[in-house]
Structure 1
Amino acid sequence: MMHGSTTIFTVTDAAASLAYYRDHVGFDVAFEYGSPTFYVGLCSGEVSLHLISAAQAPRPPGHGAVSIQIDDVDALHADLVKRGAKILNAPKDQDYGLRDFAIADIDGNMIFFAMELGKS
């Protein structure tokens, strides 16, 4: 049985990406690894996100994506706009039953935030 997962994004600069996710997206820093730092653990609620420097990874930066289910898409969107996150689109009701929007990090990795329609 599966019990959880952690998304790992490849990034160009782990320190710059850590600052972006902390300051602009609101993640807490769980840990930093390496000297200089090349691997970072971030968390927000029950969501874990790890970042690895491209110099230490077998894949190029900016090709990752994850969808995160949240309680209030519009409130989070407003908060991320204030924080200066790179917003890709405004919240929208989708015909697949979700209200969602997306952001990108400084390398182009994407996070989709979604909630079921009728929940707010």
Structure 2
Amino acid sequence: MDLTIDTVSLPHDDPEASLAFYRDLLGFEVRGDVGEGRTRWITVGPAGRPDTSILLAPPGADPGVTDAERRTIAEMMAKGTFGWILLATPRLDAMFEKVRAGGAEVVQEPTDQPYGIRDCAFRDPAGNLIRVREAG
């Protein structure tokens, strides 16, 4: 089998804050932005890497999602336990300082982990956990 990861999805509850975070702080390019108001599906990804994207999607927009499920999703997002992603960069400390200066909630400063990587963690505007490891 020849499989690749094309797109992963993270929820958002404020499209403008998500755009500012992923585009302006992380430097991702915007590849798509459809919908209106707060119900927008925004696709972003690293410049020069069109084969990998993140879809920022409104949670619970699927008509099959019940009201109870929407409440659960909202509660999990508020606690920061609904979505997460692991990214990598060769310039971990510089990226971390830029994101911290941009006001992101810091979860963990750059740390040498006992299992052999150096990484950090912060939350995006929707509460998603963003872990970033230093690429060698």
1:100·1:113 contact (CA, 8 Å) conserved in 2? yes
CA contact (8 A) 1:33 1:39 kept: yes
Contact kept? 2:10, 2:55, Cα under 8 Å: yes
| Shift in Å, 1:20 | 2.7
Among residues 102, 106, 114, which one is paired with 1:95 in the alignment?
114
Deviates more, 1:101-110 or 1:48-57: 48-57
The residue number in structure 2 matching 1:53 is 58
Q: Deviations over 1:25-76 (max 9, x none)?
A: 3322111011345100011243521111125144625311111122121121
Question: Which one of the candidate residues 31, 51, 71 is aligned to 2:90?
Answer: 71
- The equivalent of 1:13 in structure 2 is 14
- Cα separation, 1, equivalents of 2:99 and 2:20: 14
Q: Give the number of the structure whose alpha-carbon radius of gyration is greater.
A: 2
Partner of 1:82: 101
2:20 and 2:91 map into 1 onto residues whose CA distance is: 24
Q: Percent identity?
A: 29
Secondary structure in 1 matching 2:18 = helix
**Aligned equivalents of 1:5, 1:112: Cα separation in 2:** 19
Post-superposition shift, 1:9? 0.7
- TM-score normalised over the length of structure 1: 0.81
**Counterpart of 1:27 in structure 2: which amino acid?**
F
Any unmatched runs of 5+ in structure 2?
Answer: none
**Counterparts of 2:25 and 2:6 in 1: how far apart (Å)?**
23
Q: Is the 8 A contact 1:93 1:99 kept in 2?
A: yes
For structure 1, which runs of at least 5 residues remain unmatched after alignment? none
The two structures, once aligned, show a CA RMSD in angstroms of: 2.1
Q: What is the aligned length? A: 117
TM value normalised by structure 2:
0.73
Assess if the C-alpha contact under 8 Å between 1:100 and 1:112 holds in 2. Answer: yes
Contact 1:11 1:53 in 2 (8 A): yes
